[in-house]
Amino acid sequence: MNVAADSTERHAERIRRVQELENVILGIPALKDAPHADVLTALLAVYIRMAVSHPCCTESCVIQTTKAAILLAQHSATTTAPQGAPIH
């Protein structure tokens, strides 16, 4: 197998693993009826705890958080949903 194909295969496998973890996390029954503010705060707290507990990844987590903020701002700018309401 050539290097490009191997890299593409590894990337595809990582995407599958991440999507599987997303589905596990979002499938937790306690998240279903909890207030959005509580769920989002808990998810961010876990993200921060993981980033801090793995110093080798902390800088990458900062970069990913910045990307997430940009994507959320872009989505917010294009949505027709009411803007500025507190998280509920």
pLDDT at 88: 63
Mean pLDDT split into 10-residue runs, the chain, 88 residues = 83 95 92 89 93 92 94 87 69
Please report the pLDDT score of residue 18 as a whole number. Answer: 94
Angstrom distances, CA of residue 70 to CA of 14, 64, 84: 23, 10, 17
- The separation between the first and the last C-alpha atoms of the chain, rounded to the nearest angstrom, is 50
pLDDT value at residue 77: 85
* pLDDT attached to residue 68: 94
pLDDT for the residue numbered 1: 56
DSSP 11-74: HHHHHHHHHHHHHHHHT-HHHHSS-HHHHHHHHHHHHHHHHHH-HHHHHHHHHHHHHHHHHHHH
